[in-house]
Structure 1
Amino acid sequence: MKILVLNANHDRYSLGWSYTRAFESLGHEVKMIDPVERLSQWKFWSNRYTRRILERPIVEAFNKQWLQELIADPVDLIWVGKGAWAVPWLWRQLKEKRPDVHLVCFNGDDPLENYSRGGNRPWVTDSISCFDLFCTYNSHLVDRLYEADARNVACVPFAWDPDIHPTQPYGAFERDLLFIGNGDTHRAQWLRHILSCPAAKHWKVSIYGKWAKAMCRSFSDRVIHRHVFGLEMAKLIASSRITLNILRVQNEGSHNMRTFETPGCGGLLASQFSNEQSHFLNGEDANQRGALLVSDPEECVDQIERHLRDPKLCESIARIGTARVADQTYQRRAEQTLDALGIASC
């Protein structure tokens, strides 16, 4: 089967590339296009001020120019990553001219709310009904997507990509606590509470990401203002006794990419409790936990303190977590996607 992946980030660490490799591993012929790379060639798009004012008209003009190329492409399936660079008109025209093409959207955000530059757009919400299959990572969104006129909805969680984040040996510790991710008010509140406890004065802590707009005095000296990816991230996680995953507000009650990446890298995950994270990492046996899941910052402090005093327990939990996500890969997610379409995986 010929598959076209349309994703707005073309670097090898993007979700689009993980799905590209996953579909290829199943024996399909796959190519990837970054629509935003093409949009950036448009004069008004390259200027951030005109882009903010004229975003939708620019996207509409780009779509009209692009439509014939998509129609002529002899693919069987188009996998769309969110699709903020397309209006509903494009998908309706494509399905009208190519009804044989399976049109799939995976949205790693909330496609019904959170209208922001990094999150959602009104035309993304309006496009929900255009797809043959709409995939969401969040089980709580399934019914709401049907209410928004989605034709078919599948809950396809995030996963671990061993090509990007190969498992590293847990040990040779360089720090007690690690957080990797950009700052916001919610995450800053968690970190401020955790790192203000008396015991934290003795912890070696590293925080990676962009924090300029959410910096707190209580942890500003522990922030390293840069992103980390791939093997470097895997080594950082495995050489940290505990890696903290603070779910953003829109992810609370669900999970995010770090849910799988942290144990996949070999690390010990600490995060907010959710039924989804517990399902993937802890199971039903309390003695077989694969992560530290907490209800609030106070419990998080207690769990961190207690487990830092018990290295063998930390090692055991990290090992169980790594084993639990071993088969939670994007190849499996690609299979789930094709199964939801009623297409054989290979």
Structure 2
Amino acid sequence: MKKVLIVGQTLELGRTEEVYGRGFSAAGCEVKHFIWKEAEPTLFSRSLGYRVAWRVAWQLLARSANQKMIEITNQFKPDLTFVIGPNLVQPSTIQALQQHSLVFVFFTDNPLDHHHTHSNVWVRRGLPLWDAVFIWSQKLAEKLIYQGVKKVLFHSFCSDMQYHFPKRQANPIYDVAFIGNWDASRKREQYLKAISHYQLGIWGSDYWITHCRETSLKNCCKGMCTYEEIPEILGSAKIGLNILRPQNETGHNIRTFEIPVSGTLMLSERSQDLLNLFEEDREAVYFSSPDELKQKVEYLLQNPNLIQFIADAGYKKALTHTITERVAEIASLYEQLKSTHMEAYS
């Protein structure tokens, strides 16, 4: 596998497509990116007119971008095309890309969710066409296999050690730090309300100010943070909090690795995938209700040595889940499938 085409929405630092681009390049591959925002900027316009057009005629708007992708593939001739979030990929485009390479997809959202930002008719029609489907939830992987998708693999997120590493403060300002946007389910509000009497810091969009109903959280909001600022923020707290969005409840999220690889104890909402990744009460601490969260915070703050012990163990485990390992998994499957295809046509 010498040449890899990565298809994604943006090359913003820390985005999955950007991280995997660095990972494949470090593995010695020639990497080319196809970016939807560059191919068809109107697809991402914030104007009201374009938002209405998106709802009504998104397929029409995306077709020209699909053709551009096919043209780039014809010129670049990749060995592997790796698609991140395929919401804009026509099913016929998958088949066109397969004329040159194996085509893998990594779903960073739930393709079985009918929310328009997670799935659509193209996503559902394309599911059986991919050479391999990677997804961050074991339960979703099982559902996709049950629906007849030919090759599905659980593929967790990973630690980005180039930008995330321990930056611990000798005297942390916060008891608990939470990095994450406000969520319309209001579940995050309820969890954070339960621990608002502690030194709590919340980093996320201004929706925490404009949409949050819990007044006790208003003074905790610190605004947005950059990808590079995450270690400093987590280093300023004794505990890093992870509250899953509803769509991630069957699996995990990127915070699963950002917190422990920064050397901070991860206190996370409980899920089976998280329990499989980080051992409970040894490499991370878990909760399943606001009351349990409150009890765990209280207990941990009374036991600083335990915080340090679990944080150290979580950090060591996070070091085994890097982009290097993830790219190696993809390369191994590529070689396996390539060999199978060659045997089929020999």
1:42, 1:328 → 2: CA distance?
Answer: 34
Within the candidate set 299, 302, 305, 2:295 is matched to: 302
Within the candidate set 85, 90, 114, 1:82 is matched to: 85
1:106 Cα deviation from its structure 2 partner: 0.3
Q: Which residue of 2 aligns with 1:217?
A: 215
Once the two structures are superposed, residues 22-41 of structure 1 have per-residue CA deviations (whole angstroms, 9 ceiling, x without a partner) of 11222211122212221115
Q: Which residue of 2 aligns with 1:49?
A: 52
1:127, 1:246 → 2: CA distance?
Answer: 31
Within the candidate set 219, 226, 229, 1:229 is matched to: 226
Q: Which residue of 2 aligns with 1:35?
A: 36
Q: Which residue of 1 aligns with 2:181?
A: 182
1:58 Cα deviation from its structure 2 partner: 1.1
1:219 Cα deviation from its structure 2 partner: 1.1
1:274 Cα deviation from its structure 2 partner: 1.8
Normalising by structure 1, report the TM-score. 0.88
Aligned CA RMSD, in angstroms, stands at 2.3
Contact 2:9 2:35 in 1 (8 A): yes
2:212, 2:276 → 1: CA distance?
Answer: 31
Contact 1:170 1:266 in 2 (8 A): no
Contact 2:182 2:188 in 1 (8 A): no
| Structure 2: unaligned runs, 5 residues or longer | 338-346
1:205 Cα deviation from its structure 2 partner: 1.1
1:126 and 2:121 matched? no
CA gap of 1:114–1:41, structure 2 versus 1, over 3 A, is closer
Determine what percentage of the aligned residue pairs are the same residue: 23
2:45, 2:314 → 1: CA distance?
Answer: 47
Contact 2:194 2:293 in 1 (8 A): no
The residue type paired with residue 218 of structure 1 is: S
- The correspondence of residues 151-170 of structure 1 with structure 2, limited to 5 A, is 151-169=150-168
| 4+ residue segments displaced more than 6 Å | 42-46
3-state DSSP class of the match of 1:75?
coil
1:223 Cα deviation from its structure 2 partner: 1.6
1:90, 1:45 → 2: CA distance?
Answer: 26
1:44 Cα deviation from its structure 2 partner: 8.6
1:317 and 2:316 matched? no
Once the two structures are superposed, residues 138-192 of structure 1 have per-residue CA deviations (whole angstroms, 9 ceiling, x without a partner) of 1111222123332211111111111121332364301111111111144x33443
2:83, 2:58 → 1: CA distance?
Answer: 19
Contact 1:13 1:229 in 2 (8 A): no
1:61 Cα deviation from its structure 2 partner: 3.4
Q: Which residue of 2 aligns with 1:269?
A: 266
1:215 Cα deviation from its structure 2 partner: 4.0
- The correspondence of residues 4-19 of structure 1 with structure 2, limited to 5 A, is 4-19=5-20
- More divergent stretch after superposition (168-177 vs 230-239): 168-177
2:277, 2:156 → 1: CA distance?
Answer: 10
1:291 and 2:284 matched? yes
CA gap of 1:45–1:169, structure 2 versus 1, over 3 A, is closer
1:196, 1:42 → 2: CA distance?
Answer: 40
1:70 and 2:79 matched? no
Contact 1:178 1:244 in 2 (8 A): yes
1:328 and 2:329 matched? no
Q: Which residue of 2 aligns with 1:20?
A: 21
CA gap of 1:31–1:166, structure 2 versus 1, over 3 A, is farther
Q: How many residues align?
A: 331
Q: Which residue of 2 aligns with 1:205?
A: 200
1:42, 1:281 → 2: CA distance?
Answer: 39
Once the two structures are superposed, residues 55-74 of structure 1 have per-residue CA deviations (whole angstroms, 9 ceiling, x without a partner) of 11111233235423322322
Contact 1:184 1:213 in 2 (8 A): no
- More divergent stretch after superposition (144-153 vs 174-183): 144-153
1:42 Cα deviation from its structure 2 partner: 7.1
1:169, 1:43 → 2: CA distance?
Answer: 38
Contact 2:265 2:310 in 1 (8 A): yes
CA gap of 1:131–1:176, structure 2 versus 1, over 3 A, is same
1:84 Cα deviation from its structure 2 partner: 1.5
1:246 and 2:249 matched? no
3-state DSSP class of the match of 2:215?
coil
